[in-house]
Chains A and B, each alone.
Chain A
């Protein structure tokens, strides 16, 4: 298993953000992480990436515990944070070079050119990040996440703010990456989940309310699409 999460929990003061969740994910699949706003998706991802310390439970990435072998775990994953923070004053290539240096990548130049082609940044590669449109910034964020060819990719709302054409391109890229890697992505767009995810976890108020293969989840509830299932599961908990 490339990602194993056991009873992971996190609270902010008395408010429980993530409540004892457990799940696993393996290579060669795209896992959709769904839930209403404030359900604990980002918090879970931040714990997995070692940004926030967990309050309880255990999790490992590629066999490395995120608490005790944090550096090793971080070496094996790529992360695109929510809202995609970047250094606006840096040039695209300069920024990718900086990230490549952190990961101590061999054949740095070649790899940077590779990810620029992969993410479709060729025409923008000599610009400053602050001059890019939102869609291209998103691609830079994705490029820095995959530059070291990580086994695990964690993407927090990777397609927010993209136009329809960019959406299709980025989705097919994620799907392509998912063939060999473990990809976890969070999103609010149900069509997107149906387009690229093999498996779905729905989380509500810090608890997992569904964890199933996409097709099974839809057929179990006797629906044709994911949307009514999502509404049913997350509304039921609210009452």
Chain B
């Protein structure tokens, strides 16, 4: 299942275009646009990469995942899959892992940026490697959560565009919506809780280079919750 899905991505243009857009936009933000450029910033750090990437993921990952289940349902091919000796869990996991692999492929080339900044530092190697590793782990986990959200929204509808729109909204809300909500005056009492539900809080915490098990558990459980919800929806077969 995983293999078929991965080849499916690699033989269609969607994955390549998504990866290329991700890298181009990220490159522009990092080196060209003066507001966020590392060269203007004056410090040898990849901070702007890790603050820009989540917003790019927010749009690009739903674009990758929107067709996974919505298309199977619309074309009726889900009937082929569901009547093969495969459990729903295997089908979902296959799709999830293959999409996540594409996300990983998008992330890997950005290691070049790390290398260039490493060499560009006033004294060579003047960069907080620990924080960078942490940030990469955080970004990958964030990609994992967004992928799970994308697969989930793809399972609730037959329409890819709807799946995409809901996924973008959910990703955005999960990432920074809770944080913003915690600033609403009447919700001040719960601001700690709200902050902790949001992804950004945990993302920032991992980015500092401290891999706290609480953050790890948080990311993994959010992924699990969305994949289980997907399984629940597929099990109902009500479309």
Number of interface residues of A (CB under 8 A): 27
A228 part of interface (Cβ distance < 8 Å): no
Q: Mark A19-61, 1 if CB is under 8 A from B, else 0.
A: 0000000000000000000000000001001111100000000
Q: Judging by beta carbons under 8 Å apart, are A81 and B85 in contact?
A: no
Q: Judging by beta carbons under 8 Å apart, are B1 and A51 in contact?
A: no
Chain B CB within 10 Å — which of A71, A75, A87, A88 has the most? A87
Partner of A51, one of B11, B12, B85, B237: B237
Q: Judging by beta carbons under 8 Å apart, are B3 and A49 in contact?
A: no
Q: Judging by beta carbons under 8 Å apart, are B83 and A86 in contact?
A: no
A87 to B11, CA, bound (A): 13
- Stretch of A99-107, A176-184, A187-195 with 4 or more beta carbons under 8 angstroms from chain B: A99-107
Q: Judging by beta carbons under 8 Å apart, are B8 and A89 in contact?
A: yes
Q: Judging by beta carbons under 8 Å apart, are B84 and A81 in contact?
A: no
Q: Judging by beta carbons under 8 Å apart, are B76 and A101 in contact?
A: no
Q: Judging by beta carbons under 8 Å apart, are B12 and A144 in contact?
A: no
B87 part of interface (Cβ distance < 8 Å): yes
Residues of chain A lying within 8 A (CB to CB) of residue B82:
50-51
Q: Judging by beta carbons under 8 Å apart, are B4 and A85 in contact?
A: no
Q: How far apart are B3's CB and chain A's nearest CB, in angstroms?
A: 7
Q: Judging by beta carbons under 8 Å apart, are A74 and B80 in contact?
A: no
A79 part of interface (Cβ distance < 8 Å): yes
Q: Judging by beta carbons under 8 Å apart, are A50 and B83 in contact?
A: yes
A7 part of interface (Cβ distance < 8 Å): no
Residues of chain A lying within 8 A (CB to CB) of residue B8:
87, 89-90
Q: Judging by beta carbons under 8 Å apart, are B1 and A102 in contact?
A: yes
Partner of B84, one of A52, A53, A102: A102
Find the B residue at minimum CB distance from A78: B83
User: Which residues of B from 124 to 179 have beta carbons under 8 Å from A?
Assistant: none
Find the A residue at minimum CB distance from B12: A89
Q: How far apart are A42's CB and chain B's nearest CB, in angstroms?
A: 10
B86 part of interface (Cβ distance < 8 Å): yes
A133 part of interface (Cβ distance < 8 Å): no
Residues of chain A lying within 8 A (CB to CB) of residue B87:
71
Residues of chain A lying within 8 A (CB to CB) of residue B7:
94
Residues of chain A lying within 8 A (CB to CB) of residue B75:
85, 87-88
Q: How far apart are A136's CB and chain B's nearest CB, in angstroms?
A: 17
Residues of chain A lying within 8 A (CB to CB) of residue B85:
71-72, 74-75, 102-103
Find the B residue at minimum CB distance from A74: B85
A105 to B117, CA, bound (A): 51
Using a CB–CB cutoff of 8 Å, the interface residues on chain B facing chain A are 1, 3-4, 7-8, 11-12, 75-77, 79-80, 82-87, 237
In the complex, besides A85-B75, A87-B8, 19 extra interface pairs with C-beta distance below 8 angstroms are A46-B79, A51-B82, A51-B237, A71-B85, A72-B85, A74-B85, A77-B83, A81-B79, A81-B83, A85-B76, A85-B80, A86-B80, A89-B11, A89-B12, A90-B8, A94-B7, A99-B84, A103-B85, A144-B80
